[in-house]
Chains A and B, each alone.
Chain A
Amino acid sequence: MGSTGSTAATRSEDWDIVLVPRQEWWRIDLKEFWHYRDLVRLMAHRDITAQYKQTVLGPLWHVIQPLTTTFTFAFIFGKAAGLSPPDVPAILFYLSGIVSWNYFAGVINRTSKTFVGGANVMSKVYFPRLVVPVSMTLSSLVSYFIQLATFLLFYFAYWVKGPVSWHLSPWFAAMPLLILMMAALGLGVGVLVSSMTTKYRDLSFLVGFGVQLLMYASPVIMPLDRLAKVPWLLRIFKLNPMTPVIEATRAIFFGKPIDWAGLGYTAVVTAVVLGVGLMVFHRVERSFADIV
């Protein structure tokens, strides 16, 4: 090997790929991720179609589960316990919370299995691992939109039946931002958990349970104004970054004032969680093949 060739190549520092033992935490190659956008699309598509192979009801399951939960909640918490707010039909109140929560919880539950579930392919071929959780986050949107449409169906049915004391806020146009926030928060938590489960398997058991617990600390079931008398509980509820999102969704549909400060808090938490999640994920994806 001539040393002249070696210096020539080193001089032209146009290497496309440089592999080194340690890379800065924040160096996430978004350009490369963008190059693989078609893979995101295909994986999301495969997710959606594969889910319903060999099921009889297919996508109807997206509707059956939230409706059953809604009726249960409406009966137990609304009718029996009298907890639902007086000015909104219990069905709409619970369904609006459940639809948002289902998406958030679904994204966490699925993306948290990124590494453990994808070990087989990932130990054989390289691609930006982030493709997997991002495609899951996107494919979960299908279920979300079906559920949202179900909610809207009920919403307009109540309207037609009327008379109602509420109205749709013009902020409805800002729904995509709320969805984006939920998606980013769910993805952030999911990639964080998936990175940690490569070493600590216990976490995968904890996560489903933890997400469920978190729901009880959100206004999915309990309207915030019922908590006015228990300030410490209200504080816990408000710490949950999903609380402002659910509250804002309801504010939009039932024409109430939006809690901007709360949404600002969620935005900050989302940015931090997603940022930390991506960094940890990036770190783990480099060494993951040696562990699994």
Chain B
Amino acid sequence: MSTDDPHVIEVQDLRKSYRLGVIGGATLGDELRVLWASLRGRPNPLAPLDADADDQRSGDLFWALRGVTFEVRRGEILGIIGKNGAGKSTLLKLLSRITTPTQGVVRMKGRVSSLLEVGTGFNPELTGRENIYLNGTILGMKIAEIDRKLDEIIAFSGIQHHIDTPTKRYSSGMKVRLGFAVAAHLEPEIMIIDEVLAVGDAEFQRKCLGKMKDVAGSGRTVLFVSHNMVAVQSLCTRVIWLQDGKLIMDGPPDEVVKKYLHTYTVQRAEATWPEGTAPGREDLDLVRVALAHDAEEGVLTIDDPFRISIRFRNQAVESGDITVGIHLINDDDVLVFNSNYRDEPTAQQMFPIGEHTVECPVPGGLLNDGDYRVTVNVIRNGRFYFRVEETISFTLQEAKRRGTYFRSHGGVIRPLLPWRKVD
């Protein structure tokens, strides 16, 4: 791939709006007006005028894409990243021709195969083999072409033994394998993939990734949408980042992904309260809760250690036996751990009047990736005194590890343990 390669996709000022609320609420009268105007070659009298509005919502329209422009060269693997609702799915739907643009143009060269949902159109009553034909022809293959590739497709899917079983007896994993196997043998010039990696076991994933690289290596083009930044970084040759329906960055994967992660890693790294509003009680309250770390580029991964510091103020008449603790809660609302200052046997327990800061270091290689929030508990004289929910929140990103498996690992925590061979 070089910059001399021709463009195979050109997207110009692409916009897409959806009607909010009741769909099909247009009256017959409105329809007739639009029809009459279009028959006379006039513009649609009801067309939205506010396509340039800065707000994604305008009137009863929602602008899922607001003027996206980019080109893709032959042989590129273009990653598309962004938060949910950023417009990624809409862009894919437009490129795979499921829906049409509201404004703008898309031009593409060659056969496009889209894996928005693999195995689409499988008929549960038909066998795997029959579904290969049905699915393949839906994707635009000729029967003769499928005849030729049938053995290869079946072998790739890895379900030779069940190929003559109706697909209603298949597990969801088997359906995906079969679907991907069909789509992968389409030999498209442009391949659009949406989070296929979220399914299947490690071996099948490796096959899929290998196939993607083959496709790109043979001068064809791949568009890859994923939330998995490690996968995006290791597979893509270029990345675009969508946010609120706009393209906000386009460049080399490492740069874009770093910037993207940096933007989303820390949600609320610090919580401070001005005098008088501090949570707590009259004689003891919180001043500040903060997250600190030395991670590279400010992107906190699961392998980076970090520290949670808590500053509190003792305003009682004398020193107190005070301890603080944290609850770390993940995005499934699971309490990951409950740790107290007092757990450390050598910790000082009597705090004189004034402000004090304690810190809890959390090692790298302990937690799983995801979003976390911190609840602070304060204990005085051995009794629970008060609690402040959700003081700070942050995200731990996936880290690159050897033999990485591009899929969310199960488990509340994901410790790096010192495995060794003993025999």
Q: Does B165 contact A (CB under 8 A)?
A: no
Number of interface residues of B (CB under 8 A): 51
Task: Choose from A6, A16, A21 the contact partner of B110 (Cβ within 8 Å).
Answer: A16
Give min CB distance, A157 to chain B, whole Å: 38
Kindly state whether residue A123 has any CB partner on chain B within 8 Å.
Answer: yes
Residues of A102-152 whose CB lies within 8 A of B: 121-127
- In the complex, are the beta carbons of B6 and A12 less than 8 A apart? yes
Chain B residues within an 8 Å CB radius of A18: 105-108
A2 contacts B by Cβ under 8 Å: yes
Q: Which residues of A contact B328 (CB under 8 A)?
A: none
Q: Are B114 and A126 in contact (CB under 8 A)?
A: yes
Name the segment of B135-143, B214-222, B266-274, B309-317 touching the other chain: B135-143
> For the complex, is B58 an interface residue (Cβ under 8 Å from A)?
no
B294-337 vs A, Cβ < 8 Å mask (1 yes, 0 no): 00000000000000000000000000000000000000000000
Does A290 reach chain B (CB closer than 8 Å)?
Answer: yes
Which residue on B lies nearest to A198, using beta carbons?
B24
Rounded to whole Å, the gap between the CB of B237 and the closest CB of chain A is 14
A286 smallest CB distance to B (angstroms): 4
Contacting residue for A124 out of B24, B117, B125, B140, CB 8 A: B117
Minimum CB distance partner of A290 in chain B: B99
Contact in complex: B125, A50 (CB < 8 Å)? yes
A192 to B38, CA, bound (A): 19
Contact with B along A20-64 (1 / 0, CB 8 A): 110001000000000110110111001000100100000000000
Q: How many A-B residue pairs have CB under 8 A?
A: 120
CB closest chain-B residue, reference A32? B140
User: Would A17 and B101 be within 8 Å (CB), given that A38-B142, A42-B143 are in contact?
Assistant: no
In the complex where A9-B10, A121-B120 touch, is A19 in contact with B101 (Cβ < 8 A)? yes
Q: How far is the CA of A290 from the CA of B65 in the complex (A)?
A: 14
Q: A213 CB to closest chain B CB, in angstroms?
A: 22
B93, A289: Cβ atoms closer than 8 Å: yes
> How long is the Cα–Cα vector from A220 to B96 in the complex, in angstroms?
47
User: A125-B96, A286-B100 in contact; A46/B6 too (CB < 8 A)?
Assistant: no
Q: Which interface class (under 10, 10 to 19, 20 to 34, 35 or more) fits A?
A: 35 or more
**Residue of B26, B99, B101 with highest tally of chain A CB at under 10 A:** B99
Q: In the complex, which residue of chain B has the Cβ closest to the Cβ of A122?
A: B98
Query: Within 8 Å of chain A (Cβ to Cβ): is B209?
Result: no
Which chain A residues in 170-201 approach chain B with CB under 8 Å? 198-200
B234 within 8 A of A: no
A282 to B140, CA, bound (A): 19
Residue of B nearest to A123 (CB): B98
Contacts of A81 in B (CB 8 A): none
B137, A39: Cβ atoms closer than 8 Å: yes
Q: Which residue of A lies closest to B95 (CB)?
A: A19
Can you offer 26 A-B residue contacts whose CB atoms are under 8 A?
Answer: A1-B71, A5-B3, A6-B7, A8-B6, A9-B7, A15-B10, A15-B107, A15-B108, A16-B111, A17-B107, A19-B94, A19-B97, A19-B100, A19-B107, A19-B108, A36-B140, A38-B141, A42-B133, A46-B126, A123-B98, A124-B116, A125-B139, A126-B97, A127-B138, A200-B24, A287-B99
Q: Which residues of chain A have a CB within 8 Å of any CB of chain B?
A: 1-2, 5-6, 8-10, 12, 14-21, 25, 35-36, 38-39, 41-43, 46, 50, 53, 121-127, 198-200, 286-287, 289-291
Please give the residue numbers on chain B whose beta carbons come within 8 Å of chain A beta carbons, in ascending order. Answer: 3-4, 6-7, 10, 18-19, 23-24, 26, 38, 70-71, 73, 93-94, 96-112, 114, 116-117, 120-121, 123, 125-126, 133-134, 137-143, 250
